[in-house]
């Protein structure tokens, strides 16, 4: 059972890792610098929203009643210093009107400079810890007194995490011997080229959600360290897309001759890309996907009428579930053998037992199964990690939870930003210093 101390340590890592990409001796200083970027962006967006609510119209919006009075005319910005729990913001941009600036009270700043500063500062980063934009709107309302628009909140989160965009170009200083690759599908909105006019008379671009895939690469080193080293958006999981991934990794410093194995779920086009860019690498087919694959070929012939363990009568559906569970369990046990020779003996026994009654499923399972035994070339301590893509799949589940709540991402940048935030959170939660292998 996890202790309170362990939970506290995990939360501390998540909090610090979610906004800081370089965990080194200057962590606290850099953390404060990064935090100030987010706090400043959030306050400036909140001030703009408060002024829009006060005036009754947004920036660049025209009134039908004619010229605006001076007290309703914007006049640029003035700068002032604001103390935060992370240090001083010397140049916070305050919206300025043509007149009445001296008597105007900014409720956002009044609330911010109350005793709740540290709570508000951290609220700006809750988005990176898993809150949706709607959740963050509600949280900020408790402190700011009004609701920021989704556009304003999105600007805040993107500004707070802007430095993380550089991570994908960070040079790789030590090439991992094993790569685990996979893709996660999602929906991103793209302009259609057409426009429409909103209620305010503004011309907007029409967008349509399109399916895209984030191709991700996890590096595994001989000592068991593993973390994501690259990701990018692609239109499909084909040879061209995987070739682009390999090219980008090599451009960042990956040594193609040092990669000895690539773990995959059998995605099409990967082998062709490996032959071109990583010729020394052997393919390890994900054993979990291999086992899942034969399930749709089961015919459920000669089902028993009673349960083998209890002898009690079972329904046809219960018998099918029992066969499916038994076959999958025994198939997975093949790859848990301590050596390849033992695994092949287990495979022979499995085939002899099930082929007479489930020939189609066994044919599918044994087709190309030699690539499922590649992991036996490595040290036994690495076998549980590299015989499947589970390490990457677990991360994808965390990302899908957030992606499903968002629905369709407004653009590729927002999609990659969220992906990165989830990645950093997962790495820090499990105490993986993922930047130890980059310079």
Q: Supply the mean pLDDT for the chain.
A: 80
Residues 6+ apart with CB under 8 A from 37: 159, 160, 162, 163
Per-residue pLDDT at 19: 44
- Report residue 359 as tokens: 């020939």
What pLDDT, on the 0 to 100 scale, is given for residue 61? 56
For 87-108, the pLDDT digits (tens) are: 778 888 888 877 777 767 776 6
- What pLDDT is stored for residue 416 in this prediction? 85
Under the banding of pLDDT at 50, 70 and 90, the label for residue 147 is low
* pLDDT at residue 71 tops 50: yes
- Give the model's pLDDT for residue 415: 84
Confidence of residue 1 (pLDDT cuts 50, 70, 90): low
Q: Give the strand pairing for 261-264 and 226-234.
A: unpaired
Q: Is the dihedral of CA 407, 14, 17, 133 positive or negative?
A: positive
The answer to whether 388 and 266 are in contact (CB under 8 A) is: no
**What is the pLDDT at residue 240?**
95
Residue 105 class from Cβ within 10 Å (0-12 exposed, 13-18 middle, 19+ buried)?
exposed
> What share of the chain has pLDDT > 90, as a percent?
42
Find how far residue 181's CA is from the centre of its chain.
14
Q: How far is the C-alpha of 124 from the C-alpha of 110, rounded, in Å?
A: 17
Work out the burial of residue 132: count CB atoms within 10 Å of its CB; fewer than 13 is exposed, 13-18 middle, 19 or more buried. middle
pLDDT at 79 over 80: yes
Cα–Cα distance, 194 to 190 (Å, whole number): 11
Check residue 167 and give its pLDDT: 76
Q: Output the pLDDT for position 138.
A: 67
**In which band, very low, low, confident or very high, does the pLDDT at 420 lie, cut at 50, 70 and 90?**
confident
Q: Which residue has the tokens 């029992």?
A: 322
394/35: higher pLDDT: 394
Nearest C-alpha neighbor of 86 from the set 19, 155, 162, 25: 19
Residues 6 or more apart whose Cβ sits within 8 Å of residue 434? 227, 228, 229, 423, 424, 427
Q: 86-95 long-range CB contacts below 8 Å, 24 or more apart?
A: 86/31, 86/32, 86/35, 86/36, 86/39, 86/121, 87/32, 87/36, 89/36, 89/39, 89/40, 89/43, 92/40, 92/43, 92/44, 93/44, 93/47, 94/47, 95/47, 95/48, 95/51
Condensed to tens digits (0 to 9), the pLDDT of residues 26-56 reads 445 655 666 677 778 777 887 887 788 777 7
Query: Mean of the pLDDT values across residues 412-438?
Result: 68
- Domain range summary for the chain, segments of one domain joined by +: 18-160, 169-429
Comparing CA positions, the residue from 63, 101, 91, 68 lying closest to residue 201 is 63
Banded pLDDT at 434 (limits 50, 70, 90)? very low
Q: Is the pLDDT of residue 124 over 60?
A: no
pLDDT of residue 125: 52
């Amino acid at each position: 059972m996890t202790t309170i101390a362990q939970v506290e340590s995990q939360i501390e890592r998540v909090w610090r890792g979610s906004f800081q990409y370089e965990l080194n001796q200057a962590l606290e200083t850099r953390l404060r610098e990064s935090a100030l970027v987010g706090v400043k962006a959030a306050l400036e967006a909140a001030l703009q929203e408060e002024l829009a609510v006060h005036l009754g119209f947004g920036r660049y919006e025209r009134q039908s009643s004619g010229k605006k009075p001076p007290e309703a005319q914007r006049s640029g910005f003035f700068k002032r210093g604001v103390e935060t729990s992370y240090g001083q913001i010397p140049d916070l941009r305050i919206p300025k009107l043509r007149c009445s600036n001296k008597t105007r009270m900014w409720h956002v700043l009044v609330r911010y400079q109350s005793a709740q500063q540290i709570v508000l500062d951290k609220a700006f980063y809750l988005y990176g810890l898993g809150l949706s934009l709607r959740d963050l709107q509600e949280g900020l309302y408790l402190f700011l007194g009004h609701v920021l628009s989704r556009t304003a909140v999105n600007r805040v989160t993107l500004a707070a995490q802007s430095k993380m965009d550089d991570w994908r170009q960070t040079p790789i200083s030590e090439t991992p011997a094993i790569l685990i690759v996979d893709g996660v599908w999602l929906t991103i909105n793209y302009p259609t080229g057409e426009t429409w006019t909103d209620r305010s008379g503004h011309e907007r671009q029409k967008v349509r959600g399109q399916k895209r895939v984030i191709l991700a690469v996890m590096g595994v080193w001989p000592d068991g360290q593993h973390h994501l080293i690259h990701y990018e958006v692609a239109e499909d999981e084909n040879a061209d897309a995987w070739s682009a991934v390999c090219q980008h990794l090599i451009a960042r410093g990956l040594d193609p001759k040092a990669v000895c194995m690539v773990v995959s779920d059998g995605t099409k086009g990967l082998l062709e890309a490996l032959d071109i860019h990583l010729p020394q690498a052997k393919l390890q087919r994900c054993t979990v996907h291999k086992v899942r694959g034969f399930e749709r070929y089961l015919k459920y012939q000669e089902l028993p009428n009673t349960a083998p363990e209890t002898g009690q009568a079972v329904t046809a559906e219960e018998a099918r579930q029992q066969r499916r569970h038994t076959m999958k369990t025994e198939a997975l046990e093949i790859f848990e053998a301590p050596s390849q020779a033992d695994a092949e003996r287990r495979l022979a026994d499995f085939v002899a037992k099930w082929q007479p009654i489930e020939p189609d499923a066994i044919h599918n399972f044994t087709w190309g199964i030699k690539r499922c035994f590649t992991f036996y070339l490595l040290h036994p301590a690495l076998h549980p990690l590299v015989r499947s893509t589970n390490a990457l799949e677990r991360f994808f589940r965390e990302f899908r939870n957030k992606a499903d709540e968002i629905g369709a991402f407004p653009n590729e940048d927002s999609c990659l930003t969220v992906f990165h935030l989830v990645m950093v959170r997962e790495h820090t939660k499990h105490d993986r210093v993922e930047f130890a292998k980059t310079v």
